[in-house]
Amino acid sequence: MDIDASDRYIPVIASEGTISAAARKLGVSQPAMSLALSQLEKKLGVQIFDRQSVPLQLTAEGRIYLHYLNLQKQLIDDCNRELAELNSDNVFDFSLGAPAIYAETMLLRSVISYRKLRSQDHIHIKTAHLTRLAESVINGTLDAFISTSNELPPQIKSIYIKDEHLFFCRRSVPGKNNKSALPDKDSEMIFMEDDQPLQKIINKYLKENGIPYKNHISVNQVSSALRLMEAGQGTAIISEDALGILKSKKNIVITPLPAALSSRKIYFAYNGERFMSEPLKIISGLLIKENLKK
């Protein structure tokens, strides 16, 4: 199943802003694309693009039409995937995402296990901030991702994987109490970006304990906080998966967070409005299985 050529042109024209740019991107002639667009508008009885705007802008009718085109594409993709699964010899092509630290740890382990079952499939692994991962799943450029939060857009569903323990970590310092990494008034803190789940935990701990702090470095990935902490640049909250990739813990002071803050839930998230393919079911099962072993 597929959609008409003229319908494939609409989202590209909308993103490129001109018919000529869209035609170049798709490798078709500009006159052919213009004719197809005109014929489609005549058939629908509405104008899809405002020809007076530069770059081209969708009309109100065009926005509605593009919305339903996207829904149609999702349904066709889901239909093709479900039909493909009837044939066990088919090769699947799918994409998985995660924040960088989880792409290097739990997701990587599950992909290795998956390839023992289905080595013929094509798997794409992408790293990004949770907000970007969620956006990618909604627009269909990503199939699923590992999430450290279930506060996600309503169309995204999540499967619980495990509870993950969290630790304050810092490099040991001569002459300082190196029995605990809990921050105090002299601690230099390595922060995450404000909207990240880990940063909310840091903020809660510092506020509840009335701890003044110094902060000169903020990062958007736990892997960056880990490397900065190793280099003695401050105290950071590090997850147990992140600790697993440390080359050595010899000079690192590691202290679990207080019980009320010491763990968070990890999820496998996907678009609940779309067909969940067999590869995604296998990957989610492997994630749960791999983490039950630990």
What pLDDT is stored for residue 110 in this prediction?
94
Residues 168 and 254 in one domain: yes
Residues 75 and 41 in one domain: yes
Average of pLDDT values for 175-184?
82
Q: What is the pairing mode between strands 49-50 and 236-239?
A: unpaired
Average of pLDDT values for 172-189?
83
Residues 170 and 251 in one domain: yes
Residues 257 and 173 in one domain: yes
% the chain with pLDDT above 90: 35
Q: CA-to-CA distance for 268 and 98, rounded, in angstroms?
A: 9
Domain count, the chain: 3
Whole domain around residue 223: which residue ranges?
164-262
SS3 278: helix
Residues 41 and 17 in one domain: yes
Residues 172 and 249 in one domain: yes
Does the reported pTM lie above 0.75? no
3-state DSSP of 32-94: HHHHHHHHHHHHHCCCCEECCCCCCEECHHHHHHHHHHHHHHHHHHHHHHHHHCCCCCCCCEE
Residue with tokens 């001109």: 18
Residue 1 has pLDDT above 80, yes or no: no
Instruction: Provide the CATH number for the domain around residue 116.
Output: 3.40.190.10
Residue count (the chain)? 294
Q: Which residues contact 71 (CB under 8 A, 6 or more apart)?
A: none
Average of pLDDT values for 24-49?
90
CA distances from 138 to 16, 114, 142 (A): 21, 24, 8
Residues 138 and 279 in one domain: yes
Q: Which residues contact 123 (CB under 8 A, 6 or more apart)?
A: 94, 95, 96, 111, 114, 115
Angle at 115 between CA 114 and CA 121, to 5 degrees: 105
Q: CA-to-CA distance for 209 and 6, rounded, in angstroms?
A: 61
What pLDDT is stored for residue 146 in this prediction?
96
Among candidate residues 231, 232, 200, 234, the one with its CA nearest the CA of residue 216: 234
Of 55, 84, 113, which marks where a domain is finished?
84
What pLDDT is stored for residue 294 in this prediction?
55
